[in-house]
């Protein structure tokens, strides 16, 4: 189902599926499979935690590894123990993610301006 959503997002649905090589479809499948939350969703989540609307206990889930006790919220990943989480926090992708999250959240005005719908001031 996610694959279909992603194909419609890429506007691939106007082409028959036979237009794409196996490798293109494989690439799309893995991009969908490994897709994490977007930066603005994580910024919203961090704001909710700061305001107390969301707590650490909301992430507890017996179905995920480690019971959801060791969560990296910026990367939206769950780790099996505190050691694995500590090692993850030293990695490059995590640090890159933190840098992206520290930037100001984009707004609808910014999106309109990019599409050429901005107002002259
Ligand atoms: Zn992380």
DSSP labels, 31-77: HHHT----HHHHHHHHHHHHHTSS-GGGG--TTSGGGG-EEETTTTE
Can you name the residues that pair with 72 across neighbouring β-strands?
77
Confidence of residue 22 (pLDDT cuts 50, 70, 90): confident
Q: Tell me how far the alpha carbon of residue 92 lies from the centroid of ligand 1, in angstroms.
A: 9
**Span 57-113, pLDDT tens digits:** 888 888 888 888 899 999 988 899 999 999 999 999 999 999 999 998 888 888 888
Report pLDDT for 11. Answer: 58
Above 60 in pLDDT, residue 1? no
- Residue ranges of domains in the chain: 2-33, 39-104
Question: Which residues have a Cβ under 8 Å from the Cβ of 48 and sit 6 or more positions away?
Answer: 54
Question: What's the 75 CA to ligand 1 centre distance in angstroms?
Answer: 4
Q: Measured in angstroms, how far is the CA atom of residue 108 from the centroid of ligand 1?
A: 27
Q: Is residue 71 a contact partner of residue 77, using CB atoms and an 8 Å limit?
A: yes
CATH number of 39-104: 3.30.160
């Amino acid at each position: 189902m996610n694959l279909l959503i992603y194909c419609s997002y890429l506007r691939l649905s106007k082409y028959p599926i036979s237009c794409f090589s196996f490798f293109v479809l494989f690439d799309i499948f893995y991009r969908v499979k490994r897709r994490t939350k977007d930066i603005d969703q994580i910024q919203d989540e961090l704001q909710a935690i700061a305001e107390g609307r969301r707590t650490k206990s909301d992430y507890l889930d017996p179905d995920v590894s480690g019971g959801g006790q060791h969560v990296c919220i910026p990367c939206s990943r769950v780790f099996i123990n505190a050691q694995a989480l500590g090692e993850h926090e030293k990695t490059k992708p995590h640090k890159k993610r933190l840098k992206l999250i520290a930037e100001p959240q984009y707004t609808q005005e910014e999106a309109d301006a990019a599409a050429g719908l901005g107002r002259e001031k």
